[in-house]
Amino acid sequence: MRVLVVGNGGREHAIIQSLKKSKKIDALYAIAGNGGIANDAITVDMDVKNVQAVADWAEQNKIDFAVVAPDDPLVLGAVNLLNEKGIPCFGPSKEAAIIEGSKIFSKNLMKKYNIPTAEYETFSNMQDAFNYLDTKSAPIVVKADGLALGKGVIIANTIEEAKDAVKSMMEDKVFGASGANVVIEEFLTGPEVSVLSFTDGKTLVPMISSMDHKRALDFDQGLNTGGMGTVAPNPYYTEEIAKECMEKIFLPTMAAMNKEGRTFKGCLYFGLMLTPNGPKVIEYNCRFGDPETQVVLPLLESDLLEIMMAVAEERLDKVEVKFADKSACCVIMASEGYPASYKKGFEITFDTDRENVFVAGARLVDGKLLTNGGRVLGVTAIDETLKGAIDKAYEKVSKIHFENAYCRKDIGARALKAYGEQK
Ligand code: AMP
Ligand code: GLY
């Protein structure tokens, strides 16, 4: 089979390495890929947001199956266009991708179908938002309705800060059209858990749980980033909580999307907070998480292509989805200064093998791998224990070099502590 993966980050590198294990694949392509993905797939330089060009290319190149990984092309309807050309895909239609594309849609969905989430109101007028904030107390959370590169969420510690956030979104338009409408919601507390799931609209199979580390600096200080590291499984996500989430959140969400005529097929990501009042949805994503995928897929023992094809053909109940009974840790090596300003173009060298080293932002120039982004590499290790996985990941990080390399030193520390507390 000729398989195409759309996307160009560490998540896509992990998907591609997992797909490569499938015997069914004869040729593997990536649009646009990156300098690391080029080791594992044939990369095709193209803007992933130009979904028409992507679909045309897939048709011309006789692609048998496509995996659309990032939010933008999904929300823009890449899967609809590919399907119209008769190319089966893993990923939701744009009608279903709205679950991530519009926070107002997802909040209203949860309210309508009684799916636990933070209390909220939505606004299309700044003065109304200000009047509402005058009746509230901080901390309070302001979210831009649309996609905003993961930066559209502001946790305001004062009402003034919340008003500034509303103004920056609605009047100064820092997120463009994505901030024309905003959600203002209750601040929740508790450990966060990411649960990715496979669903074909009939069956939903959760993958192994994981924990992201979103802040740039150790001890959860600094700016919010796309994610500085992950571990799987997440120790807070006990079997009891998993059961509760399945009953109260996962299956009701799948059913709600069906009822709305927006059947979701692909990877549905649940960003959860385990609050004192039970698990609640912080956000849905219509895709694999990054860098959650970099710990989840290396633990997958079943054939990823088989699962993805079963999702597309609505026979997920017929395939095996099995994860290793082990732990994984992914440490992101970033360019110093990320997520603000940073330099790039430095050569990356390896005194170690590159197994489970996922390239997020690098390009190949004359055979040399040069840094080309804020997040450069995701270095994953697997072990019988979480402690072992963390130690191995950092050991590997110490053998990979580039000027201005930066990583958090405490990935997995909170999870380790949680295991200690449970014992
Ligand atoms: P997001 O960009 O939607 O992933 O949100 C970024 C982060 O903001 C989440 O991972 C949470 O840590 C935090 N967050 C979002 N919504 C809330 C909320 N209602 N209460 C507390 N923290 C939140
Ligand atoms: N790691 C969170 C996300 O992919 O949105």
Alpha helix stretches (DSSP H) within 304-350: 304-312
State the pLDDT at residue 192: 97
| 23-43: average pLDDT | 97
Residue nearest atom 2 in ligand 1 by C-alpha distance: 150
- pLDDT over 90 (residue 423): no
Does the beta carbon of 190 lie inside 6 Å of ligand 1?
no
With the most atoms of ligand 2 within 8 angstroms of its CB, the residue from 74, 194, 224 to mutate is 194
DSSP H or E stretch at residue 350: strand 349-350
Q: Write out pLDDT tens, residues 162-201.
A: 999 999 999 999 998 988 999 999 999 999 999 999 999 9
Relative to the alpha carbon of 292, which ligand is closest?
Answer: 2
Centre of ligand 2 to C-alpha 127, Å, is 31
Does the beta carbon of 192 lie inside 6 Å of ligand 1?
yes
Does the beta carbon of 389 lie inside 6 Å of ligand 1?
no
Q: Write out pLDDT tens, residues 326-372.
A: 999 999 999 999 999 999 999 999 999 999 999 999 999 999 999 99
Does the beta carbon of 151 lie inside 6 Å of ligand 1?
no
Phi-psi region of 147 (alpha: psi -120 to 50; beta: other; left: phi over 0): beta
Write down how long the chain is.
Answer: 423
Distance of CA 286 to the CA centre of its chain: 9
Nearest to 35 by CA among 357, 397, 396, 407: 357
Residue nearest atom 5 in ligand 1 by C-alpha distance: 153
Does the beta carbon of 292 lie inside 6 Å of ligand 2?
yes
Residue nearest atom 2 in ligand 2 by C-alpha distance: 289
Phi-psi region of 124 (alpha: psi -120 to 50; beta: other; left: phi over 0): alpha
State the pLDDT at residue 328: 98
CA distance 261 to 264: 9
Q: Write out pLDDT tens, residues 188-242.
A: 999 999 999 999 999 999 999 999 999 999 999 998 898 999 999 999 999 999 9
Q: For residue 99, give Cα distances in angstroms to 119, 207, 256, 286, 295.
A: 18, 19, 11, 7, 24
Residue 261: exposure state from Cβ atoms within 10 A (0-12, 13-18, ≥19): exposed
Does the beta carbon of 155 lie inside 6 Å of ligand 1?
yes
Q: Write out pLDDT tens, residues 48-107.
A: 999 999 999 999 999 999 999 999 999 999 999 999 999 999 999 999 999 999 999 999
Relative to the alpha carbon of 147, which ligand is closest?
Answer: 1
Centre of ligand 1 to C-alpha 154, Å, is 8
Determine the residue type at 161: E
Does the beta carbon of 282 lie inside 6 Å of ligand 1?
yes
Structure tokens at 209: 């749980």
Does the beta carbon of 185 lie inside 6 Å of ligand 1?
yes
Phi-psi region of 227 (alpha: psi -120 to 50; beta: other; left: phi over 0): left
